[in-house]
């Protein structure tokens, strides 16, 4: 899986769920990953409210998408120290969805969806992402050591 394929896969699996039953025509509250946001159409683009301004939905997902996927993956793995059991992809998403308190009909609608294929693909993508991150960290450490050695070597040993 290439880095581009990984990014596309993760962003395709990132949950984007409408949190309102009857939103007004000009805006809609949604859950993107584990966060909620307000989507609006401005200048023929889908924009999301971020802080005190707006950004495009595409840019927002590109920036926060990987981190949101990691949050969901951590919930899927569980935490033995906190006595949390592992969860399915759907149950992890439902956990974060319930924190945002959408109407019960939205929760029931999501619960009725099938996620068996999503869970395997999501886990595979996250494992690949972690491997790439570990490789990058190792390469950074090696490059950092090489720079130190070149600085020491350029000053030369003390001659008698």
Q: What is the pLDDT along the chain (160 residues), one digit of tens a residue?
A: 676 776 677 677 788 888 998 888 888 999 999 999 999 988 888 899 998 899 998 889 888 888 898 898 889 888 888 888 998 888 899 999 999 999 999 999 888 877 656 666 667 766 776 777 777 778 878 777 777 777 776 555 554 5
Q: Against a cut of 0.85, is the pTM above it?
A: no
Q: Cα(59)–Cα(57) distance, rounded to whole angstroms?
A: 6
Q: Cα(27)–Cα(143) distance, rounded to whole angstroms?
A: 48
State both tokens at 140. Answer: 């950074």
The CA distances from residue 60 to 36, 94, 140, in Å, are 12, 22, 27
Q: Could you tell me if 15 and 122 are in contact, meaning their C-beta atoms sit under 8 angstroms apart?
A: no
């Amino acid at each position: 899986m290439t880095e581009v394929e990984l990014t596309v896969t993760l962003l395709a699996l990132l949950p984007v769920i409408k949190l309102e039953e009857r939103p007004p025509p000009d805006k809609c509250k949604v859950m993107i990953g584990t966060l909620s946001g307000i989507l609006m159409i401005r200048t023929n683009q889908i924009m999301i409210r971020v802080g005190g301004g707006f950004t495009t939905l595409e840019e927002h997902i590109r920036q926060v998408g990987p981190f949101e996927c990691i949050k969901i993956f951590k919930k899927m793995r569980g935490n033995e120290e906190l006595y949390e059991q592992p969860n399915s992809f759907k149950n992890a998403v439902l956990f974060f969805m319930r924190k945002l308190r959408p109407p019960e009909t939205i929760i029931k609608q999501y619960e009725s969806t099938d996620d068996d294929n999503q869970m395997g693909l999501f886990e595979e993508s996250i494992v690949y992402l972690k491997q790439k991150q570990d490789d990058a960290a190792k390469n950074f450490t090696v490059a950092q050591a090489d720079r130190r050695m070149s600085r020491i070597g350029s000053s030369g040993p003390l001659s008698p």
